[in-house]
Amino acid sequence: MIINSINSRMLSKLGSRGAFGVALHEIANDNNNIIALSADLCNTSGLDRFREAFADRFINVGIAEQNMVGIAAGLANEGKVPFVTTFSNFLSMRACEQIRHFLGYMKSNVKVVGLGSGFAMGMFGNTHYGVEDLAIIRAIPNVTVISPADSSETFKTVQAAALYDGPVYIRLTGTMNNPIVYKDEYDFKIGKAVKLKNGSDINIFAAGTMVYNSVKAAELLENRGLSVGVTNMHTIKPIDADVLDEISSYSKLIVSVEEHSVVGGLGGAIAEYNSNKKNVPPHLIIGTEDKFKYAGEYKYMLEINGLLPEQIADKILSRYNSI
């Protein structure tokens, strides 16, 4: 599928999970080694069409996430390319040991897809929110971590992951009718960030749903006379060191924005990298607070965590004025 205005709207309406299902179905037509595994979440994973078309390549293990990762590792060892799907909190926490052992230590070529990351699960509440998954998975050696900016990039991420030789964690954020970042075809490469806007005063590094919100926040700040850039850091591990070095060299303030805890996510990855550098600009980390809050609908959760564009812009302006 080519990314254009029509396809981007279609994928947006489906949301990141639907876009994942469309991508995997298309890839499986050309690659007989693609296998899909679900922990009793076929429909929720967007895999209905895949199951109907490739019944012999779809495995529903039931609510047994740990077993699912082990089964996927065995399939990978036999030359298959398994995609494992369930909610991100269950993958990163319940199956953490299996991911660490089979993907990290043994480097099994398994693609784990964390559904409903951030606050996408809405009224399901804190038991289903995935705001710690990056901190957990990023700490495991040898696992590549990707958080697509929108549904179009989800499609491209799945394509790239299928061809990538090694374990990958794909973090899917947002709900149906995902805001659109990409309306046209572009070059997507694992490990290479994408500059969306150039700026000389402030530069924002964002991932997942927060890419769109950061673009809107940048527009609000530009209306106040500031030069603000935005970079889509879709690959969080390995971090794109080249783009960090380049942008940090001329920025007065760098900002990371993510629908994840302020502990251990994209902000942590950038801070860790820059900790060994001289003369780096101040870094503002914007994400969810290190606490549990009441549950609510998706937009409400973004609002109480200060992740709407207006709130992001206000936080950035306050920090910039304090420099």
Residue 319: enclosing H or E segment and its boundaries? helix 309-321
Place of tokens 């409400």: 300
Using the 8-state DSSP alphabet, how is residue 306 labeled? T
Beta bridge partners of 202: 228, 253
185 is catalytic: no
203-233: b or e for each residue (b if 16 or more CB lie within 10 Å)? bbbbbbbbbbbbbebbebbbeeebbbbbbbb
Instruction: Report d(CA 89, CA 228) in Å as an integer.
Output: 33
Q: Which of 26, 52, 65, 185 is catalytic?
A: 65
Q: What distances in angstroms separate CA 35 from CA 85, 96, 125, 148, one per listed residue?
A: 11, 21, 31, 21
Question: Cβ of 124: how many Cβ atoms within 10 Å?
Answer: 14
Query: CB-based burial of residue 252 (10 Å sphere; 0-12 exposed, 13-18 middle, 19+ buried)?
Result: middle
Active site (catalytic) residues: 65
